[in-house]
Every structure is written in C-alpha cells, then in structure tokens.
Structure 1
C-alpha cells in the first residue's frame, strides 16, 4: 500500500475514519475548555463579559473543525443560500484558527522550555495534539466548501482576537519566563495570523484546481 493512500480521498473520507476524528476532536475540544477553566473564571471576575469569547482559542478552533467533520458526515440537503453561508463560515474559521493555534501552542511550549520552564508529559501531549490540529485541517480543507471570502472573515476574526488578547490581557496564560517577551510574542501572534490566512487561501485555491 503506497503511503499516498493515507491522504487520499478514499482513506480520509471513509466514514469510520471520519467518526474517529469527530470523537477525538470533540473530546479534545471539551478537554480544551476544561483546561481554560481557571482563566475563564478569572476573566469573568475581572473583565467585561464580552471578552470571555476571546479566551479559549484552541478549543474553539477544534470546535469549528469538529462541526466541519459533521458537515462531511452529513452533507446538508438544502441548497439554500443561508445554509451554504453558515457552512462556509464555520469551515473558513476552522481552517485559519486550527492552523494558527495548532502552531502557536507548540511554539509557546518550545519557547518556554528554551527559557527554562519545566516541560512535563502534558506538554508533549499538547504539542502532538496541536500539531495534529494544524495538519488535519490542511488535509481536509480540500473536502470543505469554504470560499476565499469565508477564509478572509476567519482571518479577520484572528486579528480581532489578537487585538483583544494583547490590549486587554486575555491572551492564553504563558510559562512564567515568557512574560518578559510579551511584545515579541504579540508580534509573533499577529504574524502567525497572517501566515494562517495565506495557508488557508492556498489550500482553498489548490482545492479548486483538483
């Protein structure tokens, strides 16, 4: 069996495999919101309510991808404009958010370890799962319906999220040594949003050429 089989339509769109991915991502999403529990509580206590939506970045990204998998398992039968727009928005957000936060989380773990923060087994688990987020969404982008306009809105959401995070201090909690490098992390985060937008656009363009 050639290795290319594992990124072929036959393999990736197999319903059993899609269901496996769905449950893995759903459970990962739930775990992610639990992981953010303390920060969510603190944000509710000390910040305006509207900022709460900008706190749990990675689990929200995986939630969008989980919903995208449902669209693949149960394609909408309605051809209405509204149904199409909602699906494309969710998929556009899934692509840009999963690429960005999958890479961002691993970069912060590596940066923290480089500066002396203790790396424990959970960090390795998070690194593997977040890299998987970025990889799986790029593999499945060609099966999604998202058009460039939806990807652009997704990217706009990323830049708004970055601005809120670093203006009001609701960015994900970092390893202690990294707080001295907050301006550099902010710039890296904005740059990664731009990279994710470009990667998403390329994935959509390549789909159209198939």
Structure 2
C-alpha cells in the first residue's frame, strides 16, 4: 500500500475514519472544557459573564472541528445549513491551527524556563499537534472561501484582544508570567500565521480542483 493512501481523499473521507475522528475529537472537546473548569469558575466569580466564552480556547477550537466533521458525515441531511457550515469550517481551521501550535509552544517554553513536563503535558502536546495537522488536512474537503476565512481570523483576533485586555487568557506556567507581553505578541502573530496557513491550504485545494 502506497504511503500517500493515509492522507488520500479515499481514506480521510471514509466513514469509518470520519467516525473515529469524530469520537476522539468529541471526547477531547469534553475533556478540554473539564480542564478549563477551574478557570471558567474563577472567571464567572470575578469577571463579567460575557467574558466566559473567551476562556476555553482549545476546546472551543476542537468543538468547531468536531462540528465540521458532522457536515462530512451527514452532508445530505445538513446541506441546507450551508452558511453555518462555511462559518464553522473556517473557524475550525484558524482556531485549531492557532491553539494547536500555541499550546505546544507554551508547554515547551515553560519547560525551557524550568516547569516540569509530566504525562499530562505530553498528552496535551500530542493532542494539540493533532489538532493543527487534522485541520489543515481537511481544508480540501471544506466549502469555505477566503472571505469567510478572514472573518474567522478577525474573530480570533477579538479573542486575543479580550484575553490579554481582561486577563482571561489560558492560565500559563508560573515561569511565563513575567513574559506576558511576549506571550501576547506571540499569540497575535500566531493568529495571523494561522489565517495565512489556512489561505495557503485553500489555494492548494483550489489548484487541485482545476481541470
């Protein structure tokens, strides 16, 4: 079997593999919201309620990707939700790439400054790397275009602004708290790079569709 089969349309859109991805991403999303439980409770107690939606960044990205799989699994049943589909797909790509790379980078940056890496951190490294990779792999099966991708980028930049203006960014290793300005700048830059990565993947998708 040719190794390229493992990222071919035939394999990636097979119902068995789509169901496997759906289940793993759904479970990861549920666990992610549980992981953020203490920070959500803290935000509810100390901040205006509207800021809570900006707290669980990674599980919300995972939720977008999980929902995007629904449109591949039940494309006929959900075909009337075309506008919602392109919105969810564009958010899935930008946020999954952004927070996938962000979480891995923060874990290793904290480790570089002395934070211990245990099994949970390695689990997060693996799962967040998978988030970024799977989102880019599935761009070619999505329906959204460059305009809605830009909108997803603007929403993610708004998330960044709220996070670092009101202090609802994901809790960092204590070693990185004195580098908060650098973390903020890296976060914003990563949003822009994630939009660029999504756009390049779109260009590749559109080229492959040419006769």
Matched, 1:36 2:36: yes
Q: 1:208 Cα deviation (Å)?
A: 1.2
Q: 1:79 Cα deviation (Å)?
A: 5.7
Distance 1:184-1:84 versus aligned 2 partners, 3 A rule: same
Distance 1:99-1:78 versus aligned 2 partners, 3 A rule: closer
Distance 1:101 1:78 in 2: 27
Question: 2:107 maps to which residue?
Answer: 109
Q: 1:126 Cα deviation (Å)?
A: 0.3
List runs of 5+ in structure 2 lacking aligned partners. Answer: none
Task: State the Cα RMSD in Å.
Answer: 1.0
Preserved contact between residue 87 and residue 148 of structure 2 (Cα < 8 Å): yes
Summarize the alignment of residues 1-210 of structure 1 with structure 2, pairs less than 5 Å apart: 1-77=1-77, 80=80, 83-210=81-208
C-alpha deviations, 1:67-95, integer Å up to 9, x for none? Answer: 00010000045765xx2211100000000
Superposed structure 1 runs of 4+ greater than 6 Å apart:
none
Preserved contact between residue 71 and residue 78 of structure 2 (Cα < 8 Å): no
Q: 1:190 Cα deviation (Å)?
A: 0.4
Distance 2:198 2:83 in 1: 17
Q: 1:53 Cα deviation (Å)?
A: 0.4
In the superposition, the TM-score normalised over structure 2's length comes to 0.96
Distance 1:203 1:112 in 2: 31
Distance 1:125 1:78 in 2: 33
Q: 1:4 Cα deviation (Å)?
A: 0.7
In the superposition, the TM-score normalised over structure 1's length comes to 0.97
Distance 1:55 1:111 in 2: 21
Q: 1:146 Cα deviation (Å)?
A: 1.2
Equivalent pairs counted in the alignment come to 208
List runs of 5+ in structure 1 lacking aligned partners. Answer: none
Distance 1:76 1:49 in 2: 37
Q: 1:202 Cα deviation (Å)?
A: 1.0
Distance 1:51 1:171 in 2: 10
Q: 1:205 Cα deviation (Å)?
A: 1.6
